Amino acid sequence: MPAPRTRPATVLVLATTLAVFGLGPAAAPAAAATVPVGSGSYSDTRPAGASGPTTNTGTPVIPKVTAAAQNRPVPTNDWWSSLAFQRYGDNPHSTPMYGHPLTYQATAGGLEVGYPTTPAVVGDGRQYEYAHKRDLTLGLTGLDSPDTKADDWSDWTVTPYWSDGSRTLRTTIGHGLPFVYAKGSGGDARITTATAPAVFADQGNVLGITVAGHHYALFAPTGSDWTVSGSTISAGLGAKDYFSLAVLPSTGALATYKKYAYSFVTGSTAEWSYTGGTVKATYTLTTEAKEGTERGTLQALYRHQWLHTTDALTPYTYVSPRGTMKVRESAAFTTGQKASAVLPALPEADGVDTARLRGHLNEVANAADPFSGYTDTYWTGKALGRLAQLVPVADQIGETATRDKLLGLIKGRLQEWFTAGGASEFSYDKDWRTLTGYPASYGSDTELNDHHFHYSYYVYAAAIVAQYDQSWAADSAWGGMVKTLVRDTANPSRTDTAFPFLRGFDVYAGHSWASGHQGFAAGNNQESSSESTNLSAALVLWGSATGDTSLRDLGTYLLTTESEAIAQYWFDADEQVFPSSFGHDTAGMVWGSGAAYATWWTANPEEIHGINVLPVTGGSLHLGGKKAAVRRNIAEMERENGGPAVEWRDILWEFQSFADPAVAKAKWDAGHAGYTPEQGESKAHTYHWLATLDTLGAPDATVTGDIPSSAVFTKGAVRTYAAHNYGATARTVTFSDGRTLSVPARSTATGTGSGGDPDPDPDPDPEPPSGNTFQLRSGGVLTTATGGTAGSDTVASAGGANHDGTPYQPLVYEVRNVNGTLTPGAATAFRLQLDAGTSVGLGQQARISFDLTGDGTFDRVETYHYFATDPVAGWEEYAQSRGLKSATGTLGDLTGGTVRLEVWSAIGNGTSRLQTGTDRSVLVIPYG
């Protein structure tokens, strides 16, 4: 068994209103030894001998913010936290901050700005990074500030502040912002470049320069004039106090960027909603016009965002550690995703041997010390999670005495922690507006690290208790303390003065950050993305069990968003993010500058792969959405490990079950007798998990239910629909393929129906009525007829060139004389089965065109993002869920019209096959 996680000071890789909850306090707690919350309490002073936030030398620190921000809770664990948390006492400014596409670092003279576009692979090939490298520094003439402070912030933007007594400078920077917006006084605008700039455009107050191969535009107020002297560029501001700069995707983009140069971003807000199985989120920038009336702007979307938006995007792109960023010309965009499934436990299945399971349950329930001697927040949390996993399992097989014993153990330990004055308690820090559990661990006290990891287990365990004992979970009982932990880690309120908004979750990056201070050259980091989603899933369960739909929906948004970020940035599911030079299929840690095949405490491949899987619960089902990535991940682990897992075999068996349940169960059957469970696991839970999925099949993300606590599993042609009803009356759950399931009150129910192979990546839309669905037939035919002979057509190679968006030697399938009435709100859909054989680096692309009247002119043309196939055995499914790359024209009724499908290789140097003659390769048009 590996040693417990340790978090060294250096990088191992290289070295809401309160009414939302109905709780007080409205501000920092009143001076009192104990703050009561329902039946529980927390302290407002740390236990004797305990520490709070400190520098690396142990000196206590308070937030480094301006007077204007002193009454606001500081959102620690962010991409810019080093502005406010001076972890290293000799750096009063900041460490590098990775906003993407730009990078930044505060210095005495102003803000360093860079745009890293070439990755470096370091640490024996175990880390890739687009490290910050200064292209230029934005400042004022003569500025020499002793420190830099956080002056203002919003959901993904921040305003650093400099003052030297004579000059002041404020800049606004953020995720996705190609601009830096500056306000200064006491000096001229000054840009100092790392090397002598090449000027490509001089329009007086607008200057285009190239530095280190990167193109920038500088914007001063109208009437000003930029002067270039060597590597120093300056402009007088006159009676104005503003100027800006932008990194350009090309010199030809100057005119477009100039349009928005004086529309200064002043804030950013993410809003989300959950309805009927779908999560929607809108990301909005607020702006003010410094000149003219333009209030729009440009913002660059990350891959996990543009994959799920239908909003128009420009042709402009940027390089980033998260793959290509695409530019939107608007102050807002909206994403939509099918919600990630969550269950309190896997449902009952016939394949589970109840006698064997009962024996394993008794091993845990009757242990001399079910908490294994753990006393700190993290390891106590792991033990709570381990017990909570088994409560619904015991209930399923009628072991009510064991269930109640486990519930009693969980309640007892939670109540100890939820009561101030004992050996374990939570303490509130009024300076940092945070709740810290003591005994602390892994810098959760001195660095404010990992609160979302630690507390996820407490909220999850409390949610399981609430499922069986609602009175215990009432605010007036112990639920108030649960909600206080939620306020610390995932507060949905922006007006709560006691805790910051979503402390660790970065709404724009799509995932959480673990470090409270962000004091690393590589930016902030997160290792265990799965412990982050454990908190989100716990919010879904807690909110469902207590009737708090706002928390339930928050958890659904966080889980659904982060699940895509994990797939793309930890597992490189589409093989479009990691640089080819990295040479790994998975990352143990994601950094602001890149990612690393590493953990904080070991280089053992089992832990590198497993740390982003554990704990495995009913909130982990999203991991089954990208089955090819799971298989690549397991294969890499075994290559790096020199064979199958030994230490964390249970975690990795469970991970494999998301793609290949029968294989995982066979590994359990062969090896379950002689292994020690991972500290947060038990043989009872692992056996129940593997035996259940072996019976029901892997999670099927192509179908969702209309409540968050629902899921679908597919084995062969049979789908199993599952849902848990937390309500006091029976209800019917409707699934996106039209199936319904009647679920009794406070119960889990299952039902079956015919389905498809869940092996491909998800395609979210159900089959529409026949008559709208066209099979592909060899010879270029689209037909509504069924019962064809299965075959395939060869997709020509891209020849090593890039044909993204432009058909190249395409396969063409067409149907003419089509009549149909456009269905309001409907959209084109397709499912195409592709097989790249053993070829790597291929990407197939589809374009669908509609000639509404058959006159030879296509009135609507839709081009979809290409699908990166894998060298895995069997067919992979390409669907419209990849998202629109571009669309021209509008749809209307078809009158003798023509519909055409084109499929070609957008990238790659090999051929592939496209399946024909089956109902698994189809085009669905939005017509009745």
Which sign, positive or negative, has the C-alpha torsion 620, 622, 623, 627? positive
Burial of 263 (0-12, 13-18, 19+ CB in 10 A): buried
The tokens for 705 are 């239910």
Alpha-carbon gap, residue 658 to 485, rounded angstroms: 31
| Single-letter amino acid code for the residue at 538 | A
What CA–CA distances, in Å, run from 478 to 36, 101, 298, 422, 475? Answer: 11, 45, 47, 16, 6
What CA–CA distances, in Å, run from 119 to 175, 578, 921? Answer: 19, 10, 38
Instruction: Find, among 692, 691, 696, 697, the residue nearest to 667 by Cα.
Output: 691
Helices (H), ranges, 623-727: 627-641, 649-656, 661-671, 683-696
* Measured torsion, CA atoms of residues 576, 578, 580, 581, in degrees rounded to the nearest 10: 170
Instruction: Find, among 155, 159, 191, 136, the residue nearest to 83 by Cα.
Output: 159
Instruction: Find, among 711, 743, 705, the residue nearest to 727 by Cα.
Output: 743
Q: Confirm whether 294 is a catalytic residue.
A: no
Name the catalytic one among 78, 527, 765, 851: 527
DSSP per position, 240-306:
--EEEEEEESSGGGHHHHHHTTTEEEEEEEEEEEEETTEEEEEEEEEEEESSSS----EEEEPHHHH
| Count of CA atoms in the C-beta half-sphere (13 A) of 3 | 7
Alpha-carbon gap, residue 435 to 433, rounded angstroms: 7
- Tokens 């970020």 correspond to 565
Q: Confirm whether 90 is a catalytic residue.
A: no
Alpha-carbon gap, residue 118 to 134, rounded angstroms: 14
Number of Cβ within a 10 Å radius of residue 302: 24
Alpha-carbon gap, residue 645 to 634, rounded angstroms: 9
Alpha-carbon gap, residue 513 to 528, rounded angstroms: 10
Alpha-carbon gap, residue 488 to 535, rounded angstroms: 12
Q: Confirm whether 531 is a catalytic residue.
A: yes
Q: Report how far Cα 449 is from the mean position of its chain's Cα atoms.
A: 19
Q: Report how far Cα 76 is from the mean position of its chain's Cα atoms.
A: 18
Burial of 256 (0-12, 13-18, 19+ CB in 10 A): middle
| Count of CA atoms in the C-beta half-sphere (13 A) of 38 | 20
| Single-letter amino acid code for the residue at 919 | D
Name the catalytic one among 425, 450, 562, 647: 450
Alpha-carbon gap, residue 617 to 382, rounded angstroms: 12
Question: Could you give the 3-state DSSP secondary structure of residue 814?
Answer: strand
According to DSSP, the β-strands at 232-235 and 189-193 are antiparallel
* DSSP type of residue 616: P
Alpha-carbon gap, residue 279 to 564, rounded angstroms: 12
Name the catalytic one among 399, 488, 496, 531: 531
Give the phi and the psi of residue 115 in degrees, each rounded to 5. -140, 80
Helices (H), ranges, 750-854: none
- Tokens 């455009």 correspond to 201
* DSSP type of residue 772: S
Question: Could you give the 3-state DSSP secondary structure of residue 575?
Answer: coil
Alpha-carbon gap, residue 84 to 66, rounded angstroms: 10
Catalytic site positions: 450, 527, 531
